[in-house]
């Protein structure tokens, strides 16, 4: 497990030798048994823009995403995550990461491409989540009607709903968090900024990032030991005021709020459920990680609870619910 | 003129003997040569809700207005103000104010009613602006589809645009500001909270209110000595962040900004022009006037300029432009 | 009890015949067994300014209060409320209210004056809370060093802590809420804007106001049937962002948060405990009551719970704790 | 000059071959003829914390800076910039950058270390600004009294003033912007995200960054062709509301505002002058650059003016004033 602890016994460096090949979390595919209702929620309530659809998929983007689509909704029998996509920093970087994943004993396959991006290497990680690595992408060009005067913004403000900026991070559930974090660190070059260690010293949460944001790919322990489940997917807004406005909009549009806005450090959150059943988060405020060699912060479960800014209490569903929902199975 | 200076020589009381009969500014009728474009701006950009229309009128409301419509748009050859409506605190209060206006030598007429309200006494004030006094009104009931779960709010959040709360105040241009302010104080019971006095001691601006908000009915000097012109009509939002968001939305929707957000005291403003040509304001943050006998603050023109919070400079149009536009006539 | 229900069977008018004689809640005296610690909290954490003190009292003001001191801290054996002060709108109004209180069978006495205000009529209301009515007051003049350039503000921004603006409202506990609300309505001219009625039809909460703010004097049922207890005293800030900042400051300065920021309608709240044990609130965002004849909103206990904006759950202490604390006696 | 244009003729990649060796702008040394007054401004008004001082220096830090001090104030005859420090991502990265700078024909010298950091290679860039590269640094540990409960924050909130988070970026004036940008790109691995090109095709502004923030090291043309001058140094706050609060605090503390808050894209700014004469900026809201190969945006002077969000006009001082001030020499 020490391999997953970026500084570990070996000093202050939090940088993996593979750091720098993965640019960022590029997109997430959500499965939903209620495709139309989910699409309405993500557009009318969250304010994402629809950029494509077919019989079983709806493709959506946040206003400031430079790629074509950060979110794909796919019709399915149960809610959950279809796959996540990670963009590399170059074609060479992609080749290196594919080699590293394969060297780790994980088989994968090359796909000719996906909506808005080029060839992707698809594999299933230790946590059971389909993951794609890709380099070639389509830079989004706004249609004239949606183009703002400022050439450094892609979309216009004032559309309906929360008007989220972009996909921010994804929190996956894994039976073995350390194994998932180890691959992220060793093969993908992720930085482990925060980890939660349970009372018997086993890693229960791993918050990893590929750049200067504090988290992009998060693994927390699956209470049911299931494979490939999703805890939540998060979208970014610019200010805390927008998160409060989002809470008002959720309530006024019948989107159930699970945890009203709360804080950790300077991050600020709101959680609810989209009609398909997947947990969604609206977030802002995180400090950037400027330190090139950050020391991993290790939290005990108790510290983590205390560290939740204002002493906000979480409902039981927070620990038990994920998609697909396996309670009672 | 001293009658209009609530404290004047006669001590600290800012209360007119007639205070308490006018409840608040109820509605404003704007004239526009571009009815459809204006209606689109007030709905898609400002976020007002349309509650009625006919061939030459569009009736609009802010989400938190308890009456049916705070704004009426009327097709006309030139931009300007059609009339303003002031609601009284009772039927008896209405009778008293009508008697006082008439006693002041101003003729008026009774109208059977207007959109969303009952019988109104209509007269033209010293500044040349048609003004209606009324008591009976229609309390707005949201259609089921627009009703939020909280019974203490009327509409749902997250609609398009700025999502302004309500009509806030109106700023009229008058050739003789003191005369207009005198009638407001003596016959309508308005409190004069702030006044601007020019270098030769003549009142150039009068900020009057009927309740605890710092301004509802404002008169500033018409640089052309014309009658019945409008400087601007203002709409309220809850936070400064919403004013900034409004500025972004104005730019992204082609609404010209005349003065970017600035401040006076704790009030925070943004000014632009709706397609019909009328100047509109988005405002928030004003301190409430809890003092029942406020001492009128007298500002010299120089103090007023300095008092404009952050030293924001105003364009020449601010002083010269009103609707209808009489420049070059 | 119907007298306390402003609309009651007798139609839409929410105005008491006595409306208009009380201007606003003027000041609150808090009792504390930890005078110095309480004073430090209200200055360093809340940002109130100290304007006077003696061996057993510390006098404090919010930056935008026009009177000299909105809060008095008094050394005492137990936490609680010493008295509350209500300012009238004139000397005649004061005489009328004193007559009405006396006519209601409540004895009182005249005090020569208090810190920053003139003669006051002191009586103990049905809930057992000492209450003072006064007209003459001292308008605060900032010392040169604390004077901002804008003449329409009293203090400078950027002092330590939350920098609250002013005293906002007080929530008292009463064994018989209806009796307390009845006197407020009939003798003091308070408007009853919201009421909570329990499952057997008895008034459990009364939210009354003297002007356009939605609440100033609130009575909720004392779970122990005790007399003269305080639930909380609230202070105003201008934006929701400032409430969030207040929560951060509370945590960083060891002020226990009881209920993290939540919402009702558009009001936004944060509750904690000052070192003396009294519950304090930071609040903002309430809609103004412009309607001169508001219909009282009657909430069932169930509706009230549902109406609490985002489904925020309250800890047991919320219902059980007041000052002085009588649990276990 | 094309070397400075990251995409240039050679396709979409904005990444320099040297990208990744410089972690971030680490610190700035400001020269001031008013050391004490400047120190008071940066602590009482901006809210920086003093972490050290001697007869001619005051060392300051923003609450969220992981290094010991982001700002040094040095007593001097004239205002200006003493030097800027750039932290590398490793010791090897430092060696590579020193070799690249030397290879570019720029001489430098090794310094044993500086306040809070280890050995530094100091050289003077094409623009005439002393620049230090260093790897070893001292991670700041808060004194117990200033430590917040959350272990992922370094300082407590609620201190006086603006309470800025950290140093954000520095804008230097250069006679030859292209030469300065070329070295930043080729030898330091900076990404050129935005450039301003004047009417005759010469680079007049270069906005470069070392990570995912849109700007860290900015060069704009010196109108006097002087060497080593500073345009401004910027500090970060978390929200736009905090920038507005900063404007209020500036005014209330006598800090002259040059340009009231305005916007470009989603960045939000406020500019003023510290007592020593240096221009300071409070900023927030910038979009992160997630694209690993961003295409440089080329702005004409005209576009840049139009691109300034809300049409805010800039005073003449903006273009003419820098420190030291050479006007009239």
Contact between B124 and B172 under an 8 Å Cβ cutoff? The reply is: no
- Between A59-73, B229-243, B314-328, C110-124, the lowest mean confidence (pLDDT) is in B314-328
The DSSP code sequence of C25-74 is: EEEEEEEES-HHHHHHIIIIIS-PEEEEE-SSEEEEE-TT-SBS-SEEEE
Residue C117, strand partner residues: C114, C137
User: How many Cα atoms sit within 13 Å of C144 on the Cβ side?
Assistant: 0
Position D11 confidence tier, pLDDT thresholds 50, 70, 90:
very low
* pLDDT at residue B315, rounded to an integer: 87
- In total, the C-beta contacts within 8 angstroms joining chain B to chain C are 112
**Burial category of D96 from C-beta neighbours within 10 Å (exposed 0-12, middle 13-18, buried 19 and up):** middle
Position B310 confidence tier, pLDDT thresholds 50, 70, 90:
confident
CB atoms B311 and D260 under 8 Å: yes
Q: Which of D96, D284, D292 to mutate to test the interface with A (most CBs of A within 10 A)?
A: D292
* pLDDT at residue C127, rounded to an integer: 96
For the stretch C174-210, pLDDT in tens is: 999 999 999 999 999 999 999 999 999 999 999 999 9
More confident residue, D148 or A136: A136
* pLDDT at residue A231, rounded to an integer: 98
Bridging pattern class, strands D191-197 and D203-209: antiparallel
D291: chain A residues, CB-CB within 8 Å: 23, 66, 139
Contact between D294 and D193 under an 8 Å Cβ cutoff? The reply is: yes
Predicted structure pTM score: 0.95
For the stretch D82-123, pLDDT in tens is: 999 999 999 999 999 999 999 999 999 999 999 999 999 999
CB atoms B292 and C66 under 8 Å: no
Chain D: closest CA distance from residue A226 (Å): 31
For the stretch A4-45, pLDDT in tens is: 444 343 433 478 889 999 999 999 999 999 999 999 999 999
Residue D134, strand partner residues: D87, D120
Q: Could you give the 3-state DSSP secondary structure of residue B4?
A: helix
- Between B238-242, D5-9, D132-136, D314-318, the lowest mean confidence (pLDDT) is in D5-9
CB atoms B311 and D239 under 8 Å: no
Q: How many CB atoms lie within 10 A of CB A327?
A: 11
Residue B174, strand partner residues: B221
Residues from D in contact with C at Cβ < 8 Å = 44-45, 148-150, 156-162, 239, 241-242, 245, 248-249, 251-253
Q: Could you give the 3-state DSSP secondary structure of residue B320?
A: helix
- In total, the C-beta contacts within 8 angstroms joining chain A to chain D are 113
**Residues with Cβ < 8 Å from D173, sequence gap 6 or more?**
D127, D219, D220, D221, D222, D226, D229, D230, D231, D322
CA dist D14 and D10 (Å) reads 9
**Residues with Cβ < 8 Å from B121, sequence gap 6 or more?**
B94, B97, B98, B101, B108, B109, B110, B111, B132, B133, B134
Helix count and strand count (H, E) for chain B: 6, 17
CB atoms B157 and A249 under 8 Å: yes
For chain C, give the mean pLDDT: 91
Q: Could you give the 3-state DSSP secondary structure of residue B207?
A: strand
Residue C59, strand partner residues: C52, C72
Q: Which of A46, A252, A254 to mutate to test the interface with B (most CBs of B within 10 A)?
A: A252
D162: chain C residues, CB-CB within 8 Å: 158
Contact between C123 and C106 under an 8 Å Cβ cutoff? The reply is: yes
Q: Which of D241, D250, D309 sits opposite B251 (nearest CB)?
A: D309
At residue B8, does pLDDT exceed 90?
A: no
Residue B24, strand partner residues: B87
User: How many Cα atoms sit within 13 Å of D185 on the Cβ side?
Assistant: 28
**Burial category of B279 from C-beta neighbours within 10 Å (exposed 0-12, middle 13-18, buried 19 and up):** buried
For the stretch B169-214, pLDDT in tens is: 999 999 999 999 999 999 999 999 999 999 999 999 999 999 999 9
At residue B163, does pLDDT exceed 60?
A: yes
Q: Which residue of D has its CA nearest to B262?
A: D260
Q: Which residue of B has its CA nearest to D314?
A: B313
CB atoms C162 and D157 under 8 Å: no
CB atoms B157 and A239 under 8 Å: no
CB atoms D261 and B310 under 8 Å: yes
Contact between A271 and A321 under an 8 Å Cβ cutoff? The reply is: no
Closest CA to B329 of B175, B223, B256: B223
B268: chain D residues, CB-CB within 8 Å: 244
Q: Could you give the 3-state DSSP secondary structure of residue D212?
A: coil
Residue B120, strand partner residues: B111, B134
Q: Which residue of A has its CA nearest to B248?
A: A157
* pLDDT at residue C46, rounded to an integer: 97
* pLDDT at residue D25, rounded to an integer: 98
Contact between D24 and D211 under an 8 Å Cβ cutoff? The reply is: yes
Cα–Cα separations (whole angstroms), residue D227 to B130, C7, D127, D327: 64, 76, 6, 14
**In the 8-state DSSP scheme, what is residue B151?**
T
* pLDDT at residue C314, rounded to an integer: 82
Q: Which residue of A has its CA nearest to D150?
A: A307
Chain B: closest CA distance from residue D111 (Å): 44
* pLDDT at residue D13, rounded to an integer: 46
Helix (H) or strand (E) holding D26: strand D22-32
Cα–Cα separations (whole angstroms), residue B23 to B214, B216, C292: 14, 11, 6
Closest CA to C32 of C273, C319, C282: C273
Chain C: closest CA distance from residue D248 (Å): 7
CB atoms D161 and C162 under 8 Å: no
Residue B160 sits at φ, ψ, to 5 deg, of: -70, 155
Q: Which residue of D has its CA nearest to B257?
A: D310
CA dist C270 and C281 (Å) reads 5
Q: Which residue of C has its CA nearest to D246?
A: C158
Greatest alpha-carbon pair distance for chain C in Å reads 58
Closest CA to A285 of A306, A301, A264: A264
* pLDDT at residue A8, rounded to an integer: 40
Q: Which residue of D has its CA nearest to C157?
A: D249
CB atoms B311 and D257 under 8 Å: yes
The DSSP code sequence of B221-275 is: E-TT--SSEEEEEEEE-S-HHHHHHHHHHHHHTTPPEEEEEEEETTEEEEEEE-T
Residue whose pair of structure tokens reads 């009177």 in the numeric block: C67
Residue C259 sits at φ, ψ, to 5 deg, of: -130, 115
For the stretch A197-227, pLDDT in tens is: 999 999 999 999 999 999 999 999 999 999 9
Residue whose pair of structure tokens reads 């007869």 in the numeric block: D55
Residue C37 sits at φ, ψ, to 5 deg, of: -65, -40
At residue C167, does pLDDT exceed 70?
A: yes
Question: Positive or negative, the Cα torsion across C11, C13, C17, C18?
Answer: positive
CA dist A235 and D73 (Å) reads 40
Position C4 confidence tier, pLDDT thresholds 50, 70, 90:
very low
**Residues with Cβ < 8 Å from D177, sequence gap 6 or more?**
D127, D202, D203, D204, D205, D206, D219, D220, D221
Q: Which of C240, C310, C312, C314 to mutate to test the interface with A (most CBs of A within 10 A)?
A: C310
The pair of three-digit structure tokens given for residue D91, joined into one six-digit string:
């010791």
User: How many Cα atoms sit within 13 Å of B11 on the Cβ side?
Assistant: 4
Contact between C239 and C245 under an 8 Å Cβ cutoff? The reply is: no
* pLDDT at residue D68, rounded to an integer: 97
Residue A252, strand partner residues: none
The pair of three-digit structure tokens given for residue D189, joined into one six-digit string:
């691995």
* pLDDT at residue D310, rounded to an integer: 83
């Amino acid at each position: 497990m020490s391999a997953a602890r970026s500084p570990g016994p070996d000093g202050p460096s939090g940088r993996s030798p593979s750091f720098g090949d993965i640019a960022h979390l590029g997109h997430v595919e959500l499965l939903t048994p209620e495709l139309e209702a989910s699409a309405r929620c993500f557009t009318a309530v969250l304010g994402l823009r629809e950029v494509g659809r077919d019989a079983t998929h709806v493709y959506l983007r946040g206003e400031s995403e430079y790629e074509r689509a950060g979110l794909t909704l796919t019709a399915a029998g149960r809610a959950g995550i279809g796959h996540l996509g990670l963009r590399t920093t170059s074609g060479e970087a992609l080749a290196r990461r594919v080699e590293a994943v394969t060297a780790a004993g994980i088989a994968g396959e090359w796909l000719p491409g996906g909506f808005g991006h080029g060839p992707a290497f698809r594999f299933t990680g230790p946590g059971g989540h389909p993951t794609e690595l890709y380099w070639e992408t389509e830079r989004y060009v706004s249609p004239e009607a949606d183009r703002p005067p400022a050439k450094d913004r892609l979309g216009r403000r004032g559309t309906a709903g929360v008007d989220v900026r972009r996909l921010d991070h994804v929190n996956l559930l894994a039976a073995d968090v350390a194994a998932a974090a180890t691959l992220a660190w060793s093969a993908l070059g992720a930085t482990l900024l925060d980890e939660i260690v349970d009372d018997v010293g086993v890693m229960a949460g791993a918050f990893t990032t590929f750049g200067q944001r504090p988290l992009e790919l998060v693994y927390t322990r699956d209470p049911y030991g299931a494979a490939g489940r999703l805890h939540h997917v998060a979208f970014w807004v610019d200010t805390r005021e927008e998160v409060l406005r989002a809470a008002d909009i959720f309530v006024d549009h019948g989107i159930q709020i699970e945890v009203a806005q709360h804080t950790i450090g300077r991050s600020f959150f709101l959680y609810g459920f989209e009609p398909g059943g997947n947990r969604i988060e609206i977030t802002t405020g995180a400090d950037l990680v400027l330190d090139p060699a950050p020391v991993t912060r290790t939290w005990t479960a108790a510290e983590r609870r205390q560290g939740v800014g204002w002493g906000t209490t979480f409902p039981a569903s927070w620990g038990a619910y994920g998609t697909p929902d396996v309670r009672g199975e």
